[in-house]
Amino acid sequence: MSVIDLGEYGADFTANPYPYYAKMRAAGPVHRVRTPDGAEVWLVVGHEEARAALNDPRLSKSASVLGLTMLDEEVIGPNLLGVDPPDHTRLRKLVAGEFTGRRVEALRPRVQRLTADLVDAMEPAGRADLVDALAFPLPIIVICELLGIPAEDRDTFRRWSREVVTPSGTGAEQDAIEGLAAYLDELVEDKRAAGPADDLLSALIAARAEDGDRLTLPELRGLAYLLLIAGHETTVNLVTTSVRALLTHPDQLAAVRAEPALLDGVIEEALRWDGPVEAATYRFSREALTVGGTEIPAGEPVLVSLASGDRDPERFPDPDRFDVRRDPRGHLAFGHGIHYCLGAPLARLEARIAVRTLLDRFPRLELDPDAGAWEWLPGILIRGVRRLPVRW
């Protein structure tokens, strides 16, 4: 099988990978590709095959099956995205017991207040970069408050998390991960010493399973790291994409303004149409397996393209059309199977409140025509723009 070099597509692929994914899907659901950063991997692009691969135990989430350790796991420690059962089952059970729907729903008034305050601060200028003004500060404040992280450290976390999910290629990624590890160690020890508190990290420190099992320091560090990175960076882009989709589809924006009950459809369709995670994090074949008629040898890295799967016309008719009345159930934006995103309810809550507040407060909200071209985030992990200038 020939190797498709995604890097050869250049900036056009970063800005709009969907025509390229469509061409690949037409040729088959699985391909051997070279990613823009030079790695050769198997890429799953069909929806049915992607859904199956996300829940296939023959595809391990741990690089240890290849005798390797991913950089973040080596420095930070184990987290839910990088372990398999039974370790994953144990960790998820301990975390899920504290990261409950009730805890998320209890955040609603705080999320609404934060959103209102941020929009109040935006309003007088008549224009803003939506990322800096709302889409970034809202989820980082929420996740930092949830974990009990001091407000003065938020900007530092932004620099670290952006470098981790979209590395600059300057070698700063390792510095960011090491900085996060040292900070989280100190934070966990401070919270242990302080005793019980209402924040999630304190609850995780105190959490015990029925058999007395508790999270170790490396596990606490890994979980806090995952919640900070996954719980913030993806929500930034979900908020931004939801607004960008509406402002580039005036008919859909008009429909939502006329029928506010369509808001849930906005968020779910944005997740399907241009979700914040382009490809799920690496999987590794434990054994030879066949996916979509393609033989993948044992010991190979595999990427599942959530973005491509969610534009598969076999699953979603007219998939390139953004349609807030579509039934998008079955989309893969939050993954599938045992690694389905634990933070999905929180991301949905924040995005709904953010978009609703913007539409209510700014009846003439539009893209800033003087802003120039969008700058897309590099790589094929996180999908989004660095800035979204708007005016009202």
Give residue 132's pLDDT: 95
* pTM, 2 dp: 0.92
Q: Are 161 and 145 in contact, with CB atoms under 8 Å apart?
A: no
- Please spell the DSSP secondary structure of 368-390, one letter per residue: -TTS-S--BPPSSSB--BS--EE
Give residue 229's pLDDT: 79
Which candidate, 67, 115, 129, 59, places its Cα nearest to that of 302? Answer: 59
Q: Rounded to whole angstroms, how far apart are CA atoms 50 and 195?
A: 44
Cα(first)–Cα(last) distance of the chain, in Å? 52
Range of the domain at 160: 3-391
Give residue 204's pLDDT: 86
Q: Are 352 and 111 in contact, with CB atoms under 8 Å apart?
A: no
- Please spell the DSSP secondary structure of 336-354, one letter per residue: -GGG--TTHHHHHHHHHHH
Q: What is the mean pLDDT of each run of 10 residues along the chain (392 residues)?
A: 92 96 97 94 98 96 80 76 91 82 90 98 97 94 87 82 75 84 88 84 78 81 84 90 98 97 97 97 95 95 98 98 96 96 93 98 96 91 95 97
Q: Rounded to whole angstroms, how far apart are CA atoms 220 and 214?
A: 10
Give residue 173's pLDDT: 81
Which candidate, 385, 377, 384, 13, places its Cα nearest to that of 166? Answer: 377
Alpha helices in the chain (DSSP H): 10-15, 18-27, 47-54, 71-76, 87-96, 101-106, 108-122, 130, 137-147, 154-165, 172-194, 200-206, 217-247, 250-258, 263-274, 306-309, 344-361
Q: Are 306 and 329 in contact, with CB atoms under 8 Å apart?
A: no
Query: What is the domain count for the chain?
Result: 1
Give residue 119's pLDDT: 98
Is residue 58 exposed (0-12), middle (13-18) or buried (19+ Cβ within 10 Å)? middle
Check which CATH number belongs to the domain holding 278 and give it.
Answer: 1.10.630.10
Count other C-beta atoms under 10 Å from residue 93's C-beta. Answer: 13
Q: Rounded to whole angstroms, how far apart are CA atoms 297 and 67?
A: 16
Calculate the alpha carbon distances from 288 to 118, 298, 300, 363 in Å.
51, 4, 9, 55
297-301 own/partner pairs: CB under 8 Å, 24+ apart: 299/65, 299/66, 300/41, 300/42, 301/39, 301/40, 301/41, 301/42, 301/66
